[in-house]
């Protein structure tokens, strides 16, 4: 008759060892999650106070906050891996870290693009070229910046697409969110109407609109005849709050159209303009 006592002992010993490893792993992961949650809350609170006390802009604070959270997460993840290797699997990480310099040097030659991303991202932040919520054009994309990271910059297009742009590709950047923006509207008026009367009517409509719209910072001003063609083209210019120029342009067109109609001043029909310019 076979004796299963030794087998049972080994089986329970294995279960105990596995249970101990799983318990240590669970504890480490729980501690990691708690520290990460607390750290993120502390970072958010620090930048919220910086906005209130030091007057840092909201976009700048969001940019630095996300970058700090990313760096904190990378460091915490590295520590998690080290703790799991040492405490759960008994691996001596000191030898691994000692050899990391040599390995890192070898990898560095093949990761020049990554280094370039990090360096470019650092200077983007240092020189305050871009912040979160800025409207920018770069690397062939236009949209709102959602995040400036050490490796990539995330740009949300107006159609909803999210573009991940490697920082090294941001060689030229146009930031449309710095200062007031220009709203520009051209209105055509038929030749049978007096130009001075048309300008006067338009300017009155613009002045009334300026009193109603807080987003208009300067103007709108009628700057006289811009061109002569199928009609007399009159240009209106205004300065607006950032990102409000298109909305203001639409409101200017609506106000001008209503004012011209009320005063019997005609805007050329599209068909007439096409005919006079020989456009099919």
Q: Which residue has the higher pLDDT, 17 or 152?
A: 152
Q: What is the pLDDT of residue 280?
A: 43
Could you give the CA distance from residue 135 to residue 144 in angstroms, rounded to a whole number?
5
Could you give the CA distance from residue 30 to residue 150 in angstroms, rounded to a whole number?
27
Contact assessment for residue 21 and residue 88, using Cβ atoms and an 8 Å cutoff: yes
Residue whose entry in the numeric block shows the structure tokens 């200077």: 123
pLDDT single digits (tens) 131-154: 888 889 988 899 988 888 778 889
Quick one: tokens of 192?
């049978």
Share of the chain above pLDDT 90, in %: 4
DSSP letter string, 2-21:
---HHHHHHHHHHHHHHHHH
Alpha helices in 159-229, H assignment, sequence order: 195-212
Q: What is the pLDDT of residue 228?
A: 67
Contact assessment for residue 260 and residue 195, using Cβ atoms and an 8 Å cutoff: no
DSSP 8-state secondary structure symbol assigned to residue 173: E
pLDDT single digits (tens) 168-184: 888 888 888 877 888 88
Please give the torsion angle defined by the CA atoms of residues 45, 50, 55 and 58, in that order, rounded to the nearest 10 degrees.
-50
Share of the chain above pLDDT 70, in %: 73
Could you give the CA distance from residue 61 to residue 106 in angstroms, rounded to a whole number?
36
Buried residues in 1-15 as b, exposed as e (16+ CB within 10 A): eeeeeeeeeeeeeee
Q: Which is it for strands 162-166 and 173-175: parallel, antiparallel or unpaired?
A: unpaired
The domain ranges of the chain are 11-93, 118-175, 181-276
Whole-prediction pTM: 0.49
How high does pLDDT run on average in the chain? 76
Which residues does 109 contact at the CB level (< 8 Å), separation at least 6? Answer: none
Q: Among 2-6, 126-130, 190-194, 200-204, which range has the highest average pLDDT?
A: 200-204
Q: Is the pLDDT of residue 125 over 80?
A: no
Please give the class, per CATH, of domain 118-175. mainly beta
Residue whose entry in the numeric block shows the structure tokens 């805007």: 267
Q: What is the pLDDT of residue 163?
A: 92
Please give the class, per CATH, of domain 181-276. alpha beta
Q: Average of pLDDT values for 204-210? A: 90
Could you give the CA distance from residue 236 to residue 226 in angstroms, rounded to a whole number?
9
Could you give the CA distance from residue 53 to residue 55 in angstroms, rounded to a whole number?
6
């Amino acid at each position: 008759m076979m004796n299963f006592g030794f087998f049972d002992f080994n089986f329970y010993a294995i279960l105990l060892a596995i249970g101990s490893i799983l318990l240590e792993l669970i504890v480490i992961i729980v501690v990691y999650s708690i520290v990460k949650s607390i750290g993120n809350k502390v970072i958010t609170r620090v930048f919220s106070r910086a906005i209130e006390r030091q007057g840092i802009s909201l976009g700048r604070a969001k940019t630095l906050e996300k970058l700090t959270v990313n760096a904190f997460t990378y460091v915490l993840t590295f520590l998690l891996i080290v703790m799991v290797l040492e405490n759960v699997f008994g691996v001596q990480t000191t030898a691994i870290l000692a050899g990391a310099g040599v390995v890192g040097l070898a990898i560095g030659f093949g990761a020049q693009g990554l280094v370039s991303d990090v360096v470019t991202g650092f200077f983007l932040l240092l020189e305050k070229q871009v912040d979160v919520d800025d409207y920018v054009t770069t690397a062939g994309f236009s949209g709102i910046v959602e995040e400036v990271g050490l490796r990539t910059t995330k740009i949300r297009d107006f159609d909803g697409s999210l573009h991940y742009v490697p920082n090294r590709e941001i060689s030229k950047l146009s930031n449309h969110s710095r200062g007031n923006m220009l709203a520009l509207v051209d209105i055509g008026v038929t030749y049978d109407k007096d130009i001075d009367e048309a300008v006067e009517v338009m300017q009155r409509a613009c002045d009334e609109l300026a009193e109603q719209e807080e987003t208009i910072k300067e103007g709108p001003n009628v700057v006289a005849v811009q061109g002569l063609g199928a009609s007399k083209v009159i240009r209106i210019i205004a300065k607006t709050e950032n990102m409000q120029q298109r909305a203001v342009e639409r409101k200017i067109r609506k106000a001008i159209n209503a004012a011209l109609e009320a005063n019997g001043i005609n805007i050329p029909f599209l068909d007439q303009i096409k005919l006079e310019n020989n456009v099919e």
